[in-house]
């Protein structure tokens, strides 16, 4: 894998902007989002805050946050996802295309949500810090950052190297490797006689990695959970790594 940042950008901008990404992950539905967001809403004791859904996809979490009374801006690099999410726009719910490495000018937020493993895509290590620094700048004093990430420790201990997943009559051939930095998922399939090949590359960040990065960017971790029910995190058994950090 070359270290050209433009090539690295290409994988997630091209894959996330296809209909096949959403077909493969169609099990990540609105009911799951509603459960997770409702639990976060109660835990954080939110009411009418200004929030940012960073890397919002088609907006399932943004919509739920808005239904709970929050003023929401959802942003994503995928033009197709934002076009889809924009059907839900209202006075208190807006969407726009945006690169998470950049500050949104003239906007500040009380809470920033970064959900469904939407972090650690970049080959250049500094880009991850650029994202966190941008979030820090956009947060109001004492603001909160919520990161929902895969539990890489558990995934690597139980790495499924090969599997086939069928969705909408498409057989997705999935293969995974860990190269010491990235968990790489190769995705191959045939649709209407045409062959497709995509790859996901996400850093295998552990809790210790996030603790180091967040500390270096002036955040303090306040809570760590292991699933959408907000159960305590266990590196060996938890499905997710959910971090709640406060801006210092």
Write down the pTM of the prediction.
0.91
pLDDT at 243: 98
Higher pLDDT among residues 2 and 82, named by residue? 82
Strand partners, 31: none
Nearest to 67 by CA among 56, 75, 59: 59
**CA atoms within 13 A of residue 226's CA, in its CB half-sphere:** 11
pLDDT at 29: 63
Residue given tokens 């062959």 in the structure block:
195
C-beta separation of 185 from 161 below 8 A:
no
**Could you give the domains of the chain?**
5-151+204-247 (3.40.50.150), 155-200 (no CATH)
- What gap in Å lies between CA 64 and CA 228, rounded to an integer? 14
What is the tens place of the pLDDT at every residue in 36-83? 999 999 999 999 999 999 999 999 999 999 999 999 999 999 998 999
Helix (H) or strand (E) holding 103: none
C-beta separation of 243 from 147 below 8 A:
yes
pLDDT at 191: 96
pLDDT at 226 over 90: yes
Tokens of 146: 């919520």
pLDDT at 1: 31
* C-beta neighbour count of 212 within 10 angstroms: 12
pLDDT at 123: 87
CA of residue 223 relative to chain centroid, distance: 18
What is the tens place of the pLDDT at every residue in 78-134? 998 999 999 999 999 999 999 999 999 999 999 999 999 999 999 899 999 999 999
What is the tens place of the pLDDT at every residue in 174-202? 999 999 999 999 999 999 999 999 999 99
pLDDT at 6: 38
Higher pLDDT among residues 25 and 149, named by residue? 149
pLDDT at 2 over 70: no
């Amino acid at each position: 894998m070359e270290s050209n940042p433009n090539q690295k950008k290409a994988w997630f901008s091209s894959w996330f902007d296809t209909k096949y990404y959403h077909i493969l992950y169609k099990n990540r539905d609105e009911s799951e989002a509603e459960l997770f967001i409702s639990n976060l809403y109660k835990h954080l004791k939110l009411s009418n805050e200004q929030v940012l859904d960073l890397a919002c996809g088609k907006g399932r979490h943004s919509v739920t946050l808005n239904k709970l009374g929050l003023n929401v801006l959802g942003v994503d690099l995928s033009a197709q996802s934002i076009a889809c999410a924009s059907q839900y726009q209202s006075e208190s719910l807006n969407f726009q295309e945006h690169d998470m490495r950049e500050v949104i000018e003239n906007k500040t937020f009380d809470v920033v949500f970064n959900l469904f493993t939407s972090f650690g895509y970049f080959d250049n290590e500094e880009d991850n810090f650029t994202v966190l620094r941008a979030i820090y700048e956009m947060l109001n004093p004492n603001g909160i950052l919520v990161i929902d990430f895969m539990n890489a420790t558990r995934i690597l201990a139980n790495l499924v190297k090969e599997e086939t997943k069928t969705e909408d009559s498409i057989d997705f051939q999935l293969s995974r490797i860990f190269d010491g930095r990235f968990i790489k998922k190769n995705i191959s399939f045939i649709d209407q006689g045409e062959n497709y090949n995509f790859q996901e590359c996400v850093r295998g960040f552990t809790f210790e990695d996030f603790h180091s990065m967040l500390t270096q960017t002036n955040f303090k971790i306040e809570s760590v959970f292991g699933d959408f029910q907000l159960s305590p995190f266990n590196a060996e058994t938890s499905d997710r790594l959910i971090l709640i950090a406060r801006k210092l």
